[in-house]
Each structure stands twice: as C-alpha cells, then as structure tokens.
Structure 1
Amino acid sequence: MPYLALKIDVDTFRGTREGVPTLIQLLRRHQAGATFLFSLGPDHTGRAVKRALRPGFVKKVQRTSVVSHYGIKTLLYGTLLPGPDIGKKAADVLRATRDAGFEVGIHCWDHVKWQDGVGNANEAWTRAEFGKAVQRFTEVFGEPPRTHGAAGWQMNGTALALEGETGMDYASDGRGLHPFRPVWQGRELTVPQLPTTLPTLDELIGADGITEGNVADHLLRLTQAADRDHVYTLHAELEGGKLAPAFDRLLAGWKAQGYQLVATRTLFDSLDVASLPRHEIGWGEIPGRSGRLMVQGAPC
C-alpha cells in the first residue's frame, strides 16, 4: 500500500490554539498519522501586507478569503497588535501534540520574517533565525528537532546546510515529485528532502471552478491511481478551520483509495536513503502560488 504522508504547517497563534486540536481530533477519527511543523516565535502575520505588491498575491487573497480563514485579530498581529509568542503562550498545545503520538518539528521562528526574508538573507541572518527556532523547540520539548519544513517553501544555501549541522534526519522544504538527495549549486547536502507532491487547497480554490465544496473531489482525482507515495501539505489555519469538512472528506477518500495515512517520518523510515536519486534543489514557481519557492530540479 502506498503512503500518503501528511505534513501540517502551523503558521499562527490562532492556528496553534484552535486549528491543531481540531486536526488532532480529525486524524484520530481516521487513525491517521501526521507531522506537525510549528512556528515557534512571534506571530507577525499582519506584516505580510507587504506581499500585496507581489504579482499574483492579491488574486490569491481574493480567491481564498484570507480574512475568513485567519481572522481580523491575526491579520493585525505585528502591526496594530503585538504578536503573541507562540512557543511560550501555546507550549501546552505543542507538547500535547507530541504526547498524542504525532511527530513534531520546526517550521520557523517568525513565519513572515522567514518567508519574506530568507531568500535574499546572508549567513548571519539565517543562522540567527534558524538558531532561535532550534533553541525554542529544544526548550519546549526537551530534545532537539529532527525534521524541518520551511515556511512558504523558502530556503537558502545556509539554511539547507544548517539542517545537517543541527542533526536533522530529513526535511520537507520544497515542492517536487519524490524523495531525493539535494544538490545546491553543485554541492551535495546531507539531509534528504521529502518534497510536497500535491497542490494545497489554497492553491486550488477559486481556480478553474474549484470551490471549498468540491476541492476535495478534485484533489482525490489527482491521487486516484494510488500507484506511488505522496506528501500532502496542509495548514492548521485552513484544514483545521473552515476547510475541516474538506479535509475530512480527503482523509476518508484517501483511505478508500488504498493509501496509508502517515507522518512524513514513516515515509522517511521506509526509504533506502543511500539509493535515493540526486537532484538539484533551487528556485521555481508553482501554479496558484505567488513568487518563487524551493523546487526539486533536474537529476544530477
């Protein structure tokens, strides 16, 4: 039976407090595993307003109804309202997720700062931001992190190298077709990548007649062959909120298609890492998402 690994990005304080418990209940109902990747520092979601200048971002906001999913208060954090420290104020939720049997890992320290800044950041900036996330994770869980999934699928060469320096077993930082050993600008890295292989709900809704009501059916059509493993990225703010019914249908549908619903850790443990193909990792674009992000490139 193929694996469908569930990777859950938790971007905000509200997503941590409200979305994560909802998702845990859904996953338990379907006896599904998952990996939760937490934002561990301040919630500065309101500062994402600067993205309005990016091509395609306004259209995405209009398509996916950002206010209804995130709430007005969250969209003011870091501007008119101080951003709550997620790792401090919601540490109980983070530990409860681990105690419920789910894998936990690092998403970032400050989601907006990382997503908007890491692509052009220098080594000092990257080490500082990554280091704060590693330190907070260790404080909350009493052990170092073993996996990382980049906020907004945004990375740079220093960040990719830091995953190896800090002892990560594997990462899921980009988009692609299958697990691989990443090569960055001619240098092979030590941490294997398990890229997201399927589109996210916010990339699909509002395009080509796809709605919140039929998005699950569309995504299930993409996986109906059930002839390969997949990694699906969901967001605590979406599938743990208004899109919970769609996610519920997805879980039931994937089980009916014959998939084992697992954490990314389970998929990683099934791999012979030494035999994974080597692929470049670099910048690319994905339909439905604005800007550049990390993608699996050509074999090498």
Structure 2
Amino acid sequence: MARIALKVDVDTWRGTREGVPALVQLLESRHCGASFLFSLGPDHTGRAILRVLRPGFIGKVARTSVLEHYGLRTLLYGVLLPGPDIGRREASTLRSVRDAGFEVGVHCWDHVRWQDQLLSRDAAWAEREMRRALARHAEVFGEPARLHGAAGWQFNAAAARAQATLGVEFASDTRGTHPFMPVADDGTVMGPPQYPTTLPTLDELIGLDGLDEGNVHRHLLERTERSARDQVYTLHAELEGQKLRPVFERLLAGWQAQGHELVALERLHRDPASALPRHRIGLGRVPGRSGLLAVQGADWPTERESVAEPSAVGS
C-alpha cells in the first residue's frame, strides 16, 4: 500500500517527560518509524488563554478536555507559574528518542509565542525565534537540525526564508494533500521541501459528527483504506502519548493491517525534491481547529486563488 509518516508534535514539558517515553515504547513495540519535533525553550502554555477570542476556540476546548489532557499545572505555566525550560530540563529525554532510532527535529522555541505572534511579526522576528530553537537543538543533540515542523501550523513566507537561511533541509509546517516546494508569487523557491499534514488529527475529530474515543480510529482508517497515496499524520505527545494512547494504538494496528508502512518524514524526503510540484503557501481554515493555518496553496504558475479550500485540506 502506501507510507504514512508519523509526525509527533511535542508542545509542553509534561508532554516531553510523560508522553514522549510512552510513545517511544508503543512505537518500538509495533516496529514503527516516526519523527519527534520538540519545543525546546520555555513552556508558556498558560498564555494560550489569550486565544479565547478566536472563532471556534471555546468549542474546541470544550470538545477536547484541555484540562484533562494538559493538567492544571501546565495551564498555569507562563501566567501564575514560571515556564520550565524544556530543552534544558529534558535534554536526556530528548536524546533518548534519537538513541532509540527515531528521527528528531525542531517544533519551536516557545510554542505559544510562535503560534500566537508569527503572523503579526516581521521577518527578522521569525528568523530570530527559529535560530534560538535550532541553536538549542544543536546544543542538545550535538548536530544541526535537518527537520522543522511549525507550532500550530503557523507558517509564512518569512519563516520559509528563515529555514533556507538557517540550513533546514526539509519541513512539515503546513496542511495539504501532497509534498511540494514552497514558492513566492514569481515562482522563486523560498524554502526547503514541505511535507504537509494530510490527515485530520484526533483533537479535530473527537466530539464532532458522532465521533468519540471509541470510534474515531475507524473514521481515520476509512480515509486510508485501499489508498496508495503517501500520508502525513500529526499526533501530539500530550494526547496520543497519554490519555488517547489506546486510540492511537488501535489506529496503528489498523494501518498495519491495511498494509501501510509507518515511517519517519525522512523516508518521504528521500524522493528527489526536484520532482516536487511548486505551490504557494496560503492561509486557510481546517475543520475542527480554530484560527487560520498555513495551507498548501495554488500550484505555480497558475493564477488560481492561493488559499487552499478548507474541504481539500486533510483529504
């Protein structure tokens, strides 16, 4: 059948110290590859309360039991409690993931800061934030990061150019349908190849259309049954690594029963980048998630609208 790249976003200190080891154990037991993308600076999760004004945010919080998944202490970091430095406190945990044979890369420096501020800041800000995260990665692992996956799928042209400047080799910062080279309106390549998330996440599905923790895996399996197209599935250490681990285990078993190979993003990147189509990066909405996300826009050099249709994202 096809390959499904597993992309593990690690947002918080709790997710790093509790969810990551649990996922490593599960993935090893099922002989799966995966890419772990780490938040490497302070955990300021509590500051996400400012998103309350975003359309759809309250509904998502209610559906996905944020307090249950993240814990009260995590929700106070950066507000009433100082944010722990994840990369410093959990360096040995991060290295253990690499030592177990999994791909590692950069998610961000400060998850909330990147997710909430990127689109309102200038190019220098984007490069400075990314440079801090990449420097910490090199400090922890003793080598440069090859892979970047943006926090909250918040990404733009400035961030793509920062990746090129800082030597990122490939990335998964967007939502879309297939790998592509990100380009400006004139067709100039802005950054490294993008391997967008193609499947919806558990927290986007649970609580909608009758889906719950007992049946959501079947919904995702229906999307990949008899599919020959490579996919990218994003999971979270705070969800699939903790309370939703049984759901994820059923999903892994189902994908393997369908004949899919579960791999790291690097396996998709082995295909020649020169063969990838060129696409703009736009902003669009994804069902089940609040706010605007970076999406795979129109292919170049067509003159179509450069924002992906929400119905196409995740299909």
TM-score range, shorter chain: over 0.9
Q: In the aligned structure 1, how far is the partner of 2:190 from the partner of 2:258?
A: 35
Opposite residue 255 of structure 1, the aligned amino acid is Q
1:185, CA displacement in angstroms?
3.8
Opposite residue 204 of structure 2, the aligned amino acid is E
Task: Provide Cα deviations, 1:172-196, integer angstroms capped at 9, x if missing partner.
Answer: 0000000011113433224010000
Alpha carbons 1:226, 1:258 under 8 Å: kept: no
1:5, CA displacement in angstroms?
0.3
Does residue 238 of structure 2 align to residue 237 of structure 1?
Answer: yes
Name the count of aligned residue pairs: 299
Task: Provide Cα deviations, 1:172-225, integer angstroms capped at 9, x if missing partner.
Answer: 000000001111343322401000000000000000010011111111111112
Opposite residue 143 of structure 2, the aligned amino acid is E
For the residue of structure 2 that corresponds to 1:188, the secondary structure is coil
Alpha carbons 1:226, 1:257 under 8 Å: kept: no
Please show how residues 91-110 of structure 1 align to structure 2 within 5 Å.
91-110=91-110
Does residue 18 of structure 2 align to residue 4 of structure 1?
Answer: no
Aligned residue for 2:255?
A: 254
Opposite residue 217 of structure 1, the aligned amino acid is R
Please show how residues 281-296 of structure 1 align to structure 2 within 5 Å.
281-296=281-296
Please show how residues 112-151 of structure 1 align to structure 2 within 5 Å.
112-151=112-151
Opposite residue 27 of structure 1, the aligned amino acid is L
Q: In the aligned structure 1, how far is the partner of 2:282 from the partner of 2:184?
A: 7
Q: In the aligned structure 1, how far is the partner of 2:260 from the partner of 2:165?
A: 34
Alpha carbons 1:103, 1:263 under 8 Å: kept: yes
1:156, CA displacement in angstroms?
2.4
Structure 1 runs (4+) greater than 4 angstroms displaced? none
1:23, CA displacement in angstroms?
0.2
Does residue 197 of structure 2 align to residue 196 of structure 1?
Answer: yes
Opposite residue 207 of structure 1, the aligned amino acid is L
Opposite residue 176 of structure 1, the aligned amino acid is G
Aligned residue for 2:267?
A: 266
Aligned residue for 2:227?
A: 226
Aligned residue for 1:28?
A: 28
Unaligned runs of 5+ in 1: none
The 1:51/1:272 distance shift into structure 2, 3 A limit, reads: same
Aligned residue for 2:13?
A: 13
1:293, CA displacement in angstroms?
0.7
Opposite residue 252 of structure 2, the aligned amino acid is L
Alpha carbons 2:179, 2:193 under 8 Å: kept: yes
1:127, CA displacement in angstroms?
1.9
**TM-score, normalisation: structure 1:** 0.98
Q: In the aligned structure 2, how far is the partner of 1:197 from the partner of 1:123?
A: 27
1:157, CA displacement in angstroms?
1.8
Q: In the aligned structure 2, how far is the partner of 1:124 from the partner of 1:164?
A: 14
Opposite residue 263 of structure 1, the aligned amino acid is A
Identity %: 62
Aligned residue for 1:51?
A: 51
Alpha carbons 2:131, 2:166 under 8 Å: kept: no
Name the stretch that deviates more: 13-22 or 155-164. Answer: 155-164
Alpha carbons 2:157, 2:190 under 8 Å: kept: no
Q: In the aligned structure 1, how far is the partner of 2:263 from the partner of 2:174?
A: 19
Q: In the aligned structure 2, how far is the partner of 1:113 from the partner of 1:185?
A: 28
Alpha carbons 2:157, 2:281 under 8 Å: kept: no
Alpha carbons 2:156, 2:281 under 8 Å: kept: no
Q: In the aligned structure 1, how far is the partner of 2:283 from the partner of 2:298?
A: 12
Q: In the aligned structure 1, how far is the partner of 2:17 from the partner of 2:166?
A: 28
Opposite residue 111 of structure 1, the aligned amino acid is H
For the residue of structure 1 that corresponds to 2:183, the secondary structure is strand
**TM-score, normalisation: structure 2:** 0.93
1:128, CA displacement in angstroms?
1.7
Please show how residues 56-67 of structure 1 align to structure 2 within 5 Å.
56-67=56-67
Q: In the aligned structure 2, how far is the partner of 1:190 from the partner of 1:69?
A: 34
Root-mean-square deviation over aligned CA pairs:
0.9
Q: In the aligned structure 1, how far is the partner of 2:191 from the partner of 2:110?
A: 25
For the residue of structure 2 that corresponds to 1:184, the secondary structure is coil
